[in-house]
Structure 1
Amino acid sequence: MAIIHPTAVVDPKAELAASVTVGAYAVIGPDVRIDEGTSVAPHVVIEGHTSIGRDNRIFQFCSVGAVPQDKKYAGEPTELRIGDRNVFREGCTLNVGTVQDGGVTSIGDDNWIMAYVHVAHDCHLGNRITIANGTQLGGHVVVGDWVTLGGMSGVHQFVKIGAHAMTAVGSVVLQDLPPFVMADGDSAEASGINAEGLRRRGFSAQRISAVKQMYRLLYRQGLTFEDAKSQISALTAEYPEASGDIEMMSRFLAESTRGIVR
C-alpha cells in the first residue's frame, strides 16, 4: 500500500504503486496513475487523466493535470504524461492536452523544473531539461533534450526549442530557437552557443567546432535562410563525427514553421 497521510484525499479509483508517498492535504483524482518511488508533497493537487512515472518528486502546491487554459476545451478526456526521475518544485502548474492537438501534454525523464513554472496544454518536453523559476511555456511548445531556460523566460505558443539550446533570464522567445543556440532579450535574439555546456556533456572538439560553424552560417555570414540550410547540410563531409548534430540541426530548420530567433 502507498504511504498516504491521513489528511490527504485520494480517490479509490486512483492507481498508486506501493512505494508512493502522499503528503498532508494532497488531493488525487480518480484517473491518476503514479508509479513506484514517486513522492507527492503536502497540498499538491493531481487530477485529470494523468500518468506519472517512477521516482519523481512533486513539491508542495503543485497543480498537476488540471484542465487547459483554453476556451475551446469542452471536458474531453485528454492526458498529461510524465516520465521518470523528474523534480517539480513549489507551485508548478502542468495542464492536460487538447483535442485540437494530439490530446496529450508530455514530459520526459530526468528534468529539473523549478518553482512556479507553467507547462501549458499540448507541450512536449524531452529529457534532462532545466527550467528555472517563473518560466512560462505557452500551449503547444516543444522543448528538446538538455535545454536550459533561464528564470522568468516566456515561450510563445507553438514555439519549438531545439536540443541543447539555452535562454538567459527574462528572455521572451517568440520564434523557434535552433539547437545549441543561446538567446536573450525581449524579444530574444541569438547570442552564441553554450560551448562549455557541450563540453560538460561530453561533446568532442570536432563536434563543438561543427556547432560553431553551423552558428556562423546561420547568424554571422549574411546568408539567406535557404543558403544557410544548404551549407549546414553539407558540413557532414568536413565534420563526420558531428553528423548526428548536423542532421538534427538540418531537420529542425526544415521543420520550423514560425521562423527562427535571429
Structure 2
Amino acid sequence: MSTAQVHPSAIIEEGAQLGDGCIIGPLCCVGSEVKLGDRVELKSHVVVTGNTEIGDDTVIFNFSVIGEIPQDLKFGGEKTRLVIGQRNRIREHVTINTGTDGGGGVTRIGDDCLLMAGVHVAHDVQIGNRVIMVNHAGAAGHCIVGDDAIIGGLSGLHQFVRVGQGAIIGALTMVPNDVIPYGLVQAPRGELDGLNLVGLKRRGVSREDISELRAAFNELAKGEGTFLERARKASEESDSEYVRRITEFILGVSDRSFLTPK
C-alpha cells in the first residue's frame, strides 16, 4: 500500500490488497477480501466488497457498488467471487454482483469494457473483452456476452441468454433468447433484424467475409428445414471464420432458444 493514494475519509479494511499507484477517493469503502491491481482508481463514494479482484488501470466512478452478494433468494452466503479485468471504465451507479454456487461461483468481466451509468451485471454473468453496456442496461444472472458486443441503453438480457461476439442490441430492447454473433437486434421484444454491418466494417472485416456472412444469414432466414438444419447447411457451404463462429454458436449448448431472422 506504500504507493497508493488513499483519501483520509476512505475505509480500507484489514486484508485488502492495493496495487502500486492505486487512487482511492473520498468516502470509498474497500473490503477485506478485495484485491486491486496497479493504478486502479476509485473516484469517490465507491464500495468494493466481497471476494473481488480488479485488474490494472481500471477506473470506477462515483456511487458504484462492486462485489455485493447476488440478488438471488437461493443465495445462502457461500463464498463466491467477482473477477474484473484490466483497463475497464465503470461509470456512476453501476452494480456488479458476485457469483453463486449454482452458477459456477464467479462473475467475470474481461478487459477494456465500458459499463455506462446505472448498468447492472448480475450473478454468474460472463462478459468478454471490449464490451459496451450503455446507460441502465442490465444482464440478468448467468448471461454470457461475447467480445465486442454492444448492449443498448435501457435494454435487458433475460437470465441465461447468450449474446454472441460482435452483436449489437438496440436501445429499449428486451432480449429473451440467444443472439447470434454479429447479429443486430432491435424492437421492444427483441427481434433479429440483420447483421451488425457497421460494427463489422469498423473492425476492418473484409468485403469477402461480409459477403459470406450475408449469404449465411440469408440461409438462416430463408433456407429449408429447421433453424439448426439451416445452420449446419451454412456451415458446410462456407469456409469463412466469421460464418463458422455463427454456426458453432448455434450448434453449441444453450439454455435458451434463439432469436431467429424475420
Percent of aligned pairs with the same amino acid: 37
Give the CA deviation at 1:221. 3.8
Deviations 1:147-200 (A, max 9, x none): 011100010000000001111110100000110110112210011112121111
Query: What is the one-letter code of the residue matched to 2:35?
Result: R
Matched-pair contact (CA < 8 Å) for 1:181–1:215: no
Give the CA deviation at 1:122. 0.1
Q: Does residue 252 in structure 1 map to residue 252 in structure 2?
A: no
Moved more, 191-200 or 219-228: 219-228
SS of 1:106's partner is strand
Question: Following superposition of structure 1 onto structure 2, how do residues 26-175 of structure 1 map, counting pairs within 5 Å?
Answer: 26-175=28-177
Aligned-partner Cα distance in 2 for 1:203–1:223: 30
Matched-pair contact (CA < 8 Å) for 2:58–2:88: yes
Deviations 1:93-152 (A, max 9, x none): 000000001100000001011000000000000001111000011000000000011100
Aligned-partner Cα distance in 1 for 2:198–2:175: 22
Give the CA deviation at 1:223. 4.3
Aligned residues: 257
SS of 1:183's partner is strand
Q: Which stretches of structure 1, 4 residues or more, deviate above 6 A after TM superposition?
A: none
Deviations 1:13-48 (A, max 9, x none): 100012110000000000000001111110000000
Aligned-partner Cα distance in 2 for 1:235–1:43: 55
Matched-pair contact (CA < 8 Å) for 1:3–1:18: no
Give the CA deviation at 1:222. 5.6
Matched-pair contact (CA < 8 Å) for 1:96–1:104: yes
Aligned-partner Cα distance in 2 for 1:226–1:129: 27
Aligned-partner Cα distance in 1 for 2:5–2:11: 12
Gaps of 5+ in 1: none
Aligned-partner Cα distance in 2 for 1:150–1:222: 32
Matched-pair contact (CA < 8 Å) for 1:11–1:28: yes
Question: Following superposition of structure 1 onto structure 2, how do residues 211-230 of structure 1 map, counting pairs within 5 Å?
Answer: 211-221=213-223, 223-230=225-232
Aligned-partner Cα distance in 2 for 1:63–1:80: 12
Deviations 1:48-95 (A, max 9, x none): 000000100100000000000001111111000000000001000000
Moved more, 50-59 or 181-190: 181-190
SS of 1:191's partner is strand
Gaps of 5+ in 2: none
TM-score, with length taken from structure 1: 0.95
